[in-house]
């Protein structure tokens, strides 16, 4: 019944002459469409990300900033880099370095301490301490800076007024380098907290127990096994926080510049805002800043690739708790102190200033006793057309950017992770570039790009949407990729085998299965857009101001009451979004 | 539905997954591609499915060309009408059993009533009556496999591809579903191609087995032929032959164990194929009193290990330094003997196969690669 191409007892290989070694004709057939698709994707990412970066580089080496009809490579110059080595930029660079190092140290100390206490000890109220570790995340850093500006100003700061009320001398000035370092440190501490907490709580208890069995005391176990195992997480967090603090613009501007301190981002901002604008020099300084970030990022990759300890047990085993002994209560007190500094005082200050009946506070205790507090400022903000417009702008821009960003991120991650189109890997690399480019530099590049491109988008909300989409490409790409990699390729191939074409298979199978991860990516992008201040800073006009920009502007112009009231409402909005995102995260864990 | 594969070659960059492979599968036949992981069996199957694009070759079903590198023909997977059961089953968790099975029919835009009728039929055929409205994520492994089968059967495919269909199930279930699968394939007259690395599964499921190594088919035949007459020592090894001993040719009917003076009689063999191995299954060797005392192939050795397995026992017997034989025995023998004792073993002439280490074509390729 069966005839094989060879007798069953002999070998099944039919020795036919080998074909020539050319590429198959078959794949050439489907190729043009794939090539067109990938070229289009490169086009989109090129305009979104590469062109802005290229224009910054170009400006750094020429004497004119890019304008329509004026873009040439002929007037090449290195003179812009004179500014980089000038006294102003060198001082700013020095400050940046101090801020980066100091900020990371403070963040690691706070975050690492809370992580250890909550993950591995018997401290009381660990749930509260865990919450305290996360809280600063819900406060955009510039709102924290605004609040601490209100609290710690040398004369009118509420803490100093309170001290005077109580008969003490004014004791603090936040507008100093230490003030800036501590502020950045505590607002980036949640990153350290999360990374180190994960490392501590996922540690395989076998590793520690075997140290105990082999004769180590609990203290020795901590020193010789537990902490060394957590070093990759600690180092990773340190470097991440270093780059984040070095490139942070809002806090440096609101706290540092008020005290006459420049960091590299604020220096770039000042060069751009001087009259006449010194864009080419700003670009040169921007390049120096990017280089610093790139070097540190490269360092991070090396450190992390060299030392990956697989500590994840995957068995759901709970690591043992360390007995803190007499230190249990002090540990809790330190946590409460951190919570007061990062959350209670700032939010209290924002509420107090927003509700106080006049912009001038003579005595904190006096005002509270006299009942000089009301909700007029909130009513003012809620009825004020400028605030309305800014809120609408923020929502429209953030939602559009999040939708568009999620869609592009999904397409790019699909092509990178699921196809074999030549050149797909490059799309992934381009998507990750904004991570290494500080927001202020990207904003600069986006400004020049959309001045140059002959489309009537500059000065509209469209350019804001484009800017946010570009800036958040890395987070979108990572979120979508993580989702796609969780879904087995077979599920989609199976739909193709059963009669669906590829697009239909994606639409009927892959996209529905990715509903939860794509929704959380969308919410993440939405939240990031709502919080973003720096990227749109060069792009907004009076008609396209966002909530974050209104708060920043009012603060810079000394309209503190309105700024504080807007911030409070802004925080409520962001907290709602965060809550929504978290609920989705939980659902995601349940379903997977 | 005759499937014809001619001169198929598939490479990923520099590594060649399938080289110049030709194969024909008849209507209603079950062919198993058997081999170790990385031998190219799954790649071959994915080429038939259209999920990989081969570099060279031709694939046709009943004379209809699905793929031809020379003519630039490459019909997309969704137009091939080939059913496939994935190793992971790939049951869509966001759909019910009914929706999963109805998918191929809905893609063909068939009328609702017909979809319902045929889905019902398919679900009954695989024995899942009453499960239609169950969410697919609520199914057990065995049920998922049935849904995957129903989903492919419902489209009346020209051929069914099954990629390691039993590997995700526990041992007992695997045994039962293997029989069910064989029965279903016969009843529906399905042409089926299986991929597996499990020799027992291959022997049970196949009408013919194609043994694959290094991207080639090295032996093809009925299960009993493959089991009884492997073409090379490495195939024998894969098929569970316990004793594979290096030998040197003495004359046309005898060989000597390498490194010893011991010679044994064997059936005529081909001594031109380079290095030789004597391949003997553990169950074919006679032990102790079962071994005839006065015979050319009766040897004496020392028991170095004993494993009591309940109904049976295995022994390891050292014939000479460096030459050890694994032998099946009875539980009584296990009770009677001790490590260190000397025993007789007899190697029946017809149970010994003297084989080259690699199949001739493969040996040629290995030499090519080395050059």
Q: Which of A25, A533, A263, A536 lies closest to B67, judged by CA?
A: A25
Cβ–Cβ pairs < 8 A, chains A and B: 152
> Among B228, B249, B274, where does a domain finish?
B228
Length of chain B: 371
Q: Which of A559, A247, A577, A125 lies closest to A395, judged by CA?
A: A577
Burial (CB count within 10 angstroms: exposed 0-12, middle 13-18, buried 19+), residue B365: buried
Place of tokens 């060279």: B56
The H or E element spanning position B162 is strand B159-163
Helix (H, G, I), strand (E, B) or coil at B106: helix
Helix (H, G, I), strand (E, B) or coil at A255: helix
Q: How far apart are CA A295 and CA A243, in angstroms?
A: 10
Helix (H, G, I), strand (E, B) or coil at A586: helix
Q: How far apart are CA A419 and CA A413, in angstroms?
A: 10
> Among B228, B252, B270, where does a domain finish?
B228
Cβ-contact A539, A508 below 8 angstroms? no
The H or E element spanning position B306 is strand B298-308
Cβ-contact B220, A12 below 8 angstroms? yes
Q: How far apart are CA A150 and CA A561, in angstroms?
A: 10
* Interface contact flag, A24 B69, Cβ < 8 Å: yes
* Interface contact flag, B29 A493, Cβ < 8 Å: no
Instruction: Please tell me the predicted confidence (pLDDT) of residue A10.
Output: 36
Handedness of CA A479, A485, A486, A489 (dihedral sign): positive
Per-residue pLDDT for B371 more than 60? no
Q: How far apart are CA A519 and CA A410, in angstroms?
A: 11
Mean pLDDT, all residues of chain B:
88
B258 lies in some domain: yes
Handedness of CA A81, A87, A90, A95 (dihedral sign): negative
B237 and B207 inside one domain = no
Q: What is the dihedral of CA B251, B254, B255, B256, to 10 degrees?
A: -100
Q: For an interface test with A, which of B22, B122, B229, B235 has the most A Cβ atoms less than 10 Å from its Cβ? A: B22
Residues 6+ apart with CB under 8 A from B274: B356, B357, B363
B113 backbone dihedrals φ, ψ, rounded to 5°: -60, -40
B250 lies in some domain: yes
Q: Which of B122, B106, B130 lies closest to A509, judged by CA?
A: B106
Residues 6+ apart with CB under 8 A from B251: none
Residues of A in contact with B29 (CB under 8 A): 1-2
Q: How far is CA A148 from CA A101, A136, A254, B86, B179, in A?
A: 21, 13, 10, 59, 74
Tell me the helices (H) and strands (E) count for chain B, helix number first.
10, 21
Cβ-contact B234, B358 below 8 angstroms? yes
B167 and B56 inside one domain = yes
Handedness of CA A303, A307, A308, A309 (dihedral sign): negative
Q: For an interface test with A, which of B59, B75, B95, B219 has the most A Cβ atoms less than 10 Å from its Cβ? A: B219
Closest-approach residue (CA) in chain A for B157: A498
User: DSSP secondary-structure letter at A67?
Assistant: B
Instruction: Please tell me the predicted confidence (pLDDT) of residue A305.
Output: 62
> Which of A19, A498, A504 comes nearest B56 by C-beta?
A19
Cβ-contact B320, B366 below 8 angstroms? no
Residues of B in contact with A27 (CB under 8 A): 53, 74
B81 and B179 inside one domain = yes
B85 lies in some domain: yes
> Among B183, B202, B228, where does a domain finish?
B228
Strands B192-196 and B159-163: parallel
Q: For an interface test with B, which of A1, A7, A10, A11 has the most B Cβ atoms less than 10 Å from its Cβ? A: A11
B179 and B258 inside one domain = no
Place of tokens 């040398």: A154
Structure tokens at A64: 């004119």
Tell me the helices (H) and strands (E) count for chain A, helix number first.
29, 0
Cβ-contact A68, A62 below 8 angstroms? no
Strands B82-85 and B159-163: parallel
Residues of B in contact with A34 (CB under 8 A): none
Alpha helices in A307-438 (DSSP H): 328-339, 345-355, 364-370, 376-383, 385-418, 424-432
Length of chain A: 592
> Which of A30, A488, A497 comes nearest B84 by C-beta?
A497
B201 and B253 inside one domain = no
Q: How many CB atoms lie within 10 A of CB B27?
A: 15
Q: For an interface test with A, which of B77, B81, B358 has the most A Cβ atoms less than 10 Å from its Cβ? A: B77
Q: What is the CATH number of the domain that holds B351?
A: 2.40.50.100
B198 lies in some domain: yes
> Which of B22, B54, B55 comes nearest A5 by C-beta?
B22
Q: How far apart are CA A395 and CA A539, in angstroms?
A: 17
**CA atoms in the 13 A half-sphere facing the CB of A524:** 21
ipTM over 0.90: no
* Interface contact flag, B208 A4, Cβ < 8 Å: yes
> Which of A12, A15, A496 comes nearest B23 by C-beta?
A12
B266 and B152 inside one domain = no
**CA atoms in the 13 A half-sphere facing the CB of A558:** 4
Residues of A in contact with B103 (CB under 8 A): 495, 498-500, 508
B153 and B166 inside one domain = yes
Confidence of residue B97 (pLDDT cuts 50, 70, 90): very high
B218 and B345 inside one domain = no
* Interface contact flag, A26 B73, Cβ < 8 Å: yes
Q: How far is CA A374 from CA A352, A353, A575, B185, in A?
A: 9, 10, 23, 81
The H or E element spanning position A469 is helix A461-471
The H or E element spanning position B184 is helix B171-188
Handedness of CA B131, B134, B140, B146 (dihedral sign): positive
Residues of A in contact with B66 (CB under 8 A): none
B15 and B126 inside one domain = yes
> Which of A5, A24, A505 comes nearest B24 by C-beta?
A5
Residues 6+ apart with CB under 8 A from B38: none
Structure tokens at B357: 């280490």
B363 lies in some domain: no
B364 lies in some domain: no
Highest mean pLDDT among A226-230, B164-168, B188-192: B188-192
Chain A residues with CB-CB distance to B under 8 A? 1-6, 8-9, 11-16, 18-19, 23-30, 488, 490-491, 493-502, 504-505, 508-509, 512-513
- Our CA angle for B208, B213, B214, nearest 5°, is 140
B264 backbone dihedrals φ, ψ, rounded to 5°: -130, 155
Predicted TM-score of the model (pTM): 0.79
Report the range of poorest mean pLDDT among A375-379, A483-487, B36-40, B125-129: A375-379
Q: How far is CA A234 from CA A193, A297, A306, B270, B353, in A?
A: 9, 15, 14, 66, 62
Q: Which residue has the higher pLDDT, B323 or A364?
A: B323
Q: How would you write the pLDDT of chain A (592 residues) with one tens digit per residue?
A: 343 433 333 333 333 333 333 333 334 445 677 888 899 999 999 999 999 999 888 888 888 777 766 666 667 778 888 888 888 888 999 999 999 999 999 999 999 999 999 988 888 888 999 999 988 888 888 899 999 998 988 878 888 888 888 888 888 888 999 999 999 999 999 999 988 988 888 777 777 777 777 777 778 888 888 888 888 888 888 888 998 899 899 999 999 887 889 999 999 999 888 878 788 888 888 888 888 888 887 877 776 665 444 444 444 456 677 788 888 899 999 999 999 999 999 999 999 888 887 777 777 777 777 777 777 778 877 788 888 889 899 999 999 999 999 999 999 999 998 888 888 889 999 998 888 888 888 998 999 899 888 888 888 999 999 999 999 999 999 889 988 988 888 899 999 999 888 889 999 999 988 888 888 889 889 988 988 899 998 888 888 899 999 999 888 888 888 888 889 888 888 888 778 777 766 665 555 4
Q: For an interface test with B, which of A5, A21, A421, A499 has the most B Cβ atoms less than 10 Å from its Cβ? A: A499
Question: In chain B, how many domains are there?
Answer: 2
> Which of B72, B92, B152 comes nearest A29 by C-beta?
B72
Q: Which of B358, B37, B14 lies closest to A21, judged by CA?
A: B14
* Interface contact flag, A494 B86, Cβ < 8 Å: yes
Instruction: Please tell me the predicted confidence (pLDDT) of residue A313.
Output: 44
B368 lies in some domain: no
**Sheet of B82-85, strands arranged across:** B82-85, B159-163, B192-196, B30-34, B208-213, B216-221
Question: Could you write out the DSSP letters of every residue in A515-532?
Answer: HHHHHHHHHHHHHHHHH-
**CA atoms in the 13 A half-sphere facing the CB of A139:** 32
Q: How far apart are CA A475 and CA A466, in angstroms?
A: 15
Average pLDDT of the segment spanning B96-124? 92
pLDDT digits (tens, 9 = 90+) for B232-290: 999 999 998 999 999 998 888 889 998 888 889 898 888 777 789 999 999 999 988 88
B246 and B223 inside one domain = no
Strands B298-308 and B342-346: antiparallel
Domain containing B255 equals 233-356
Average pLDDT of the segment spanning B23-41? 92
Residues of A in contact with B71 (CB under 8 A): 25
Q: What share of chain B is helix, strand, coil (3-state, %, to 5)?
A: 30, 35, 35
* Interface contact flag, A25 B70, Cβ < 8 Å: yes
B215 lies in some domain: yes
* Interface contact flag, A488 B88, Cβ < 8 Å: yes
Q: What is the CATH number of the domain that holds B181?
A: 3.40.50.300
B28 and B104 inside one domain = yes
* Interface contact flag, A496 B21, Cβ < 8 Å: no
B64 and B138 inside one domain = yes
Burial (CB count within 10 angstroms: exposed 0-12, middle 13-18, buried 19+), residue A243: buried
């Amino acid at each position: 019944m069966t005839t094989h191409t060879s007798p069953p007892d002999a070998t099944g290989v039919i020795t036919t002459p080998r074909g020539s070694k050319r590429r198959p004709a078959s794949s050439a057939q489907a190729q043009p469409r794939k090539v067109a698709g990938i070229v289009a994707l490169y086009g989109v990412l090129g305009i979104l990300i590469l062109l802005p970066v290229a224009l910054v580089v170009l400006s750094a080496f020429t004497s004119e900033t890019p304008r329509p009809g004026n873009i040439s490579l002929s007037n090449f110059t290195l003179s812009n880099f004179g500014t980089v080595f000038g006294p102003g930029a060198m001082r700013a660079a020095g400050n940046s370095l101090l801020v980066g190092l100091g900020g990371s140290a403070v963040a690691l100390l706070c975050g690492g301490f809370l992580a250890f206490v909550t993950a591995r000890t018997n401290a009381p109220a660990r749930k509260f301490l865990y919450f305290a570790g996360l809280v600063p995340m819900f406060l955009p850093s510039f709102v924290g800076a605004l609040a601490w500006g209100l609290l710690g100003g040398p004369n009118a700061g509420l803490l100093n007024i309170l001290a005077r009320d109580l008969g003490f001398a004014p004791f603090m000035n936040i507008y100093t380098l230490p003030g800036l370092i501590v502020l950045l440190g505590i607002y980036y501490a949640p990153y350290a907290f999360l990374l180190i907490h994960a490392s501590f709580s996922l540690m395989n208890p076998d590793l520690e127990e075997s140290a105990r069995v082999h004769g180590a005391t609990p203290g020795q176990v901590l020193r010789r096994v537990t902490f060394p195992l957590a070093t990759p997480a600690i180092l990773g967090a340190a470097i991440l926080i270093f780059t984040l603090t070095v490139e942070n613009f809002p806090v440096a501007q609101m706290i540092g510049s008020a005290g006459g301190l420049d960091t590299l981002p604020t220096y770039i901002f000042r060069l751009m805002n001087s009259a006449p604008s010194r864009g080419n020099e700003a670009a040169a300084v921007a390049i120096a800043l990017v280089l610093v970030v790139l070097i540190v990022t490269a360092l991070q990759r090396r450190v992390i690739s060299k030392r990956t300890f697989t500590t994840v047990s995957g068995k759901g085993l709970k690591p043992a708790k360390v007995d803190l002994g007499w230190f249990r209560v002090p540990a809790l007190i330190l946590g409460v102190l951190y919570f007061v500094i990062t959350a209670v005082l700032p939010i209290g200050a924002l509420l107090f200033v927003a509700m106080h009946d006049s912009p001038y506070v003579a005595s904190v205790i006096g005002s509270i006793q006299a009942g000089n507090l009301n909700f007029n400022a909130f009513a003012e903000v809620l009825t004020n057309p400028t605030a309305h417009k800014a809120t609408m702008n923020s929502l429209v821009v953030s939602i559009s950017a999040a939708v568009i960003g999620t869609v592009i991120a999904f397409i790019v991650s699909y092509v990178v992770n699921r196809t074999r189109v030549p050149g797909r890997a490059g799309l992934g690399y381009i998507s990750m570039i904004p991570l290494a480019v500080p927001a202020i530099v990207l904003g600069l590049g986006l400004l020049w790009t959309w001045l140059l491109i002959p489309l009537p988008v500059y000065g509209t909300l469209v350019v804001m949407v484009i800017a946010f989409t570009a800036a958040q490409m890395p987070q979108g790409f990572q979120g979508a990729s993580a989702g796609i990699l969780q879904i087995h390729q077979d599920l989609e191939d199976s739909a193709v085998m059963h009669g669906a074409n590829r697009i239909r298979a994606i639409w009927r199978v892959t996209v529905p299965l990715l509903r939860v991860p794509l929704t959380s990516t969308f919410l993440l992008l939405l939240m990031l857009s709502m919080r973003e201040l720096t990227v749109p800073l060069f792009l907004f006009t009076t008609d396209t101001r966002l909530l974050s920009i209104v708060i920043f502007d009012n603060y810079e112009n000394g309209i503190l009451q309105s700024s504080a009231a807007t911030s409070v409402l802004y925080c409520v909005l962001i907290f709602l979004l965060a809550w929504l995102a978290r609920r989705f995260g939980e659902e995601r864990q349940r379903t997977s | 539905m005759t499937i014809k594969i001619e001169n198929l070659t598939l490479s990923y960059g520099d590594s060649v997954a399938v080289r110049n492979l030709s194969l024909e599968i008849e209507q209603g036949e079950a062919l198993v591609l058997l081999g170790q992981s990385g031998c190219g069996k799954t790649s071959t199957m994915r080429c038939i499915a259209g999920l990989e694009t081969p570099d060279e070759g031709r694939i046709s079903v009943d004379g209809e060309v699905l793929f031809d590198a020379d003519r630039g023909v490459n019909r997309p997977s969704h137009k091939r009408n080939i059913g496939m059961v994935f190793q992971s089953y790939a049951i869509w968790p966001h759909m019910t059993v009914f929706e999963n099975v109805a998918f191929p029919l809905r893609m063909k835009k068939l009328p609702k009533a017909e979809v319902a009728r045929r889905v019902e039929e398919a679900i009954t055929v695989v024995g899942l009556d009453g499960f239609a409205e169950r969410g697919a994520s609520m199914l057990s492994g065995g049920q998922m496999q049935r849904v995957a089968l129903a989903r492919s059967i419902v489209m009346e495919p020209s051929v069914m591809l099954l990629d390691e269909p039993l590997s995700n199930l526990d041992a007992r279930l695997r045994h039962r579903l293997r029989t069910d699968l064989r029965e279903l394939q016969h009843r529906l007259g399905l042409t089926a191609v299986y991929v597996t690395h499990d020799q027992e599964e291959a022997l049970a499921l196949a009408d013919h087995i194609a043994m694959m190594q290094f991207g080639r088919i090295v032996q093809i035949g009925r299960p009993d032929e493959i089991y009884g007459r492997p073409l090379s020592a490495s195939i024998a090894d894969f098929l569970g032959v316990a004793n594979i001993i290096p030998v040197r040719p003495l004359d046309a009917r005898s060989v000597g164990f390498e490194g010893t003076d011991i010679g044994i009689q064997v059936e005529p063999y081909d001594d031109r194929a380079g290095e030789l191995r004597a391949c003997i299954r553990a169950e074919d060797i006679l032990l102790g009193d079962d071994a005839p005392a006065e015979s050319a192939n009766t040897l004496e050795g020392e028991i170095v290990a004993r494993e009591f397995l309940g109904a049976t026992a295995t022994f390891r017997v050292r014939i000479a330094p460096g030459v050890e034989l694994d032998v099946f025995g009875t539980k009584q023998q296990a009770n009677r003997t001790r490590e260190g004792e000397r025993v007789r073993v007899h190697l029946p002439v017809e149970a010994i196969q003297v084989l080259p280490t690699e199949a001739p074509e493969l040996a040629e390729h290995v030499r090519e690669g080395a050059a």
